[in-house]
Amino acid sequence: MNDFSPILPFIFKQFPHLVAFQTTRSGGNSQGNYASMNLGKNTADDPAIVQSNYAILKQKTGIDAIAISHQIHGDAILIAENPGKYEGYDAIITQKKGLLIGVTIADCCPILIYDAKNEAVAAVHAGWKGTIYQLVLKTLKTMQATYHTHPSDCFVFVGACISERNFEVGDEVAAHFSTDFKTFDPARGKYLVDLKKANAAQCLAFGIPAHQIEISPLHLRIRCSPFFT
Q: Which of 134, 112, 126 is nearest to 71 (CA)?
A: 126
Domains, the chain, with CATH or none: 10-228 (3.60.140.10)
pTM of the model: 0.96
Any alpha helices (H) in 25-179, and if so which ranges? Answer: 47-61, 128-132, 135-147, 171-174
Spatial distance between the Cα atoms of 130 and 74, rounded to a whole number of angstroms: 6
229 has a pLDDT exceeding 90: no
Return all residues near 104 (Cβ < 8 A) that are at least 6 apart.
39, 40, 41, 68, 71, 125, 223, 224, 225
Q: pLDDT (tens digit, 9 = 90+) per residue, 119-166?
A: 999 999 999 999 999 999 999 999 999 999 999 999 999 999 999 999
- CA distance linking residue 196 with residue 199, whole number of Å: 5
Query: Do β-strands 190-193 and 182-185 pair in parallel, antiparallel, or remain unpaired?
Result: antiparallel
Q: Can you tell me the distance from the alpha carbon of 35 to that of 103, in angstroms, rounded to the nearest whole number?
A: 18
At residue 128, what are phi and psi to the nearest 5 degrees? -65, -35
What's the rounded mean pLDDT across residues 37-42? 92
Mean pLDDT of the chain: 94
Give residue 70's pLDDT: 96
The closest alpha carbon to 37, from 5, 72, 71, 83, belongs to 5
pLDDT in tens, 90-128: 999 999 999 999 999 989 999 999 999 999 999 999 999
DSSP secondary-structure letter at 115? E
